[in-house]
Structure 1
Amino acid sequence: MSLPPLKRSTLGDDVYQSLRAAVLEHTLSPGDRMNIDALARELEVSPTPVREALARLESEGLVRKRPLAGYTVSPLLSRAEFADMFDMRLLLECAAARWAAERATPDQRATLVAEAARTVPPGDDQSWHSAFTTLDAHLHGLVAEAAASPLLVDSITRLHAHLHLHRRYFPYEQTAVTTSEHQRIAAAIDRNDPDEAEAAMRAHLTEARERHLATFEKS
């Protein structure tokens, strides 16, 4: 196992980011045990920031903690669980897009448009997968925040954690399609058009569900 190197300036955050990247890129695979002492040795840190990082990852749903068994990487969803997750995303995120179009501040609208225009450059698997996951989660998070509902933000964030584990199988050529769909959502929110924003989010999530079903064909 080779984890990403750390920057010493913000050790706690760096440990968290390193472990999160290892989980999302399947350097630490779904179901793998995560031994705190072993991870600390690998990262050349004390066990304390590792424990803190694992607690953060647990709160996001990326790892699980069981009595007497310690931490393990959360397993991939079954096909039925995956379908249920997207059903929930359709309920929550379509509402979020509608509310964002109605409630977003001018600064939030401008930020959404700018972020939706960002693209992920090609590169090695680890770099572009990580960048795409971060960018996609950030965009959906901005929509949720613009909806002005903290509870909605928390719910959407936890749902996304499970999707991130499946993104290791996402083909790079689909990122351009995702960007176009994000731009449609952002443009509708910017125009203060709740009907179009909801429709754009629904179309995006419906198409995304089909793209991610490739995960189950590879398993």
Structure 2
Amino acid sequence: MWKNLASVLEGEIVRLEPLARRHEKGLFEAAQDRRIWRWMPCDASESGERFHAWLEEALAASSAGTEVAFATVDAGTVEPVGSTRYLALRPEHRGLEIGWTWLAPAHWRTGANVEAKLLMLEHAFERLGCVRVEFKTDSRNEISRAALAALPAQFEGIFRKHMLVRGGERRDSAYYSIIDDEWPEVRENLGRRIDAIRKEEAR
């Protein structure tokens, strides 16, 4: 098994902290815009009870060692602004998935998601020794698919009728991946994008 999988990952825009109950209040406040949950398996903004259930499910998966959930924290205000996870952990094959990612809309297009991806990918490839990191999203989620393509992650195809989602609907999932051979290019691209965002904000 991997050691230090649930580490604090420090960036200049965000820091990723292993999810804990102390994050619940701040995350619930950050999660109120229903656009966040449009493509998620559940809508955790519906009530405090529903959000608590989402949090407990994430903590249980982390405790069981099947996933590692993080709170995405604004590095300036130290307030929780979203969450993300490692899941589909396959240490024997040196692979994992990044998913369950969401951010409060105020932090969209700020570099928060770009830096969070950089931190998670860097940890996966350079510390855990992964050779493959994968992502999946609803095939209709054009924003997520564009963000994955911009990493750039390689589009691998559509899993048809892959998951049963809210309302009894069958979802087709679009799969993407980054492998270790591609990581240097991806790291350089993400670094350039973060630098460009900082320069724009400094104007």
For the criterion TM > 0.5, the same-fold answer is no
TM-score (ref. length: structure 2):
0.31
Q: Which has the higher helix share?
A: 1
TM-score (ref. length: structure 1):
0.29
Q: Which has the higher strand share?
A: 2
Structure with more contact order per residue of length (Cα contacts < 8 Å, sep ≥ 6): 1
Greater Cα radius of gyration, structure 1 or 2: 1
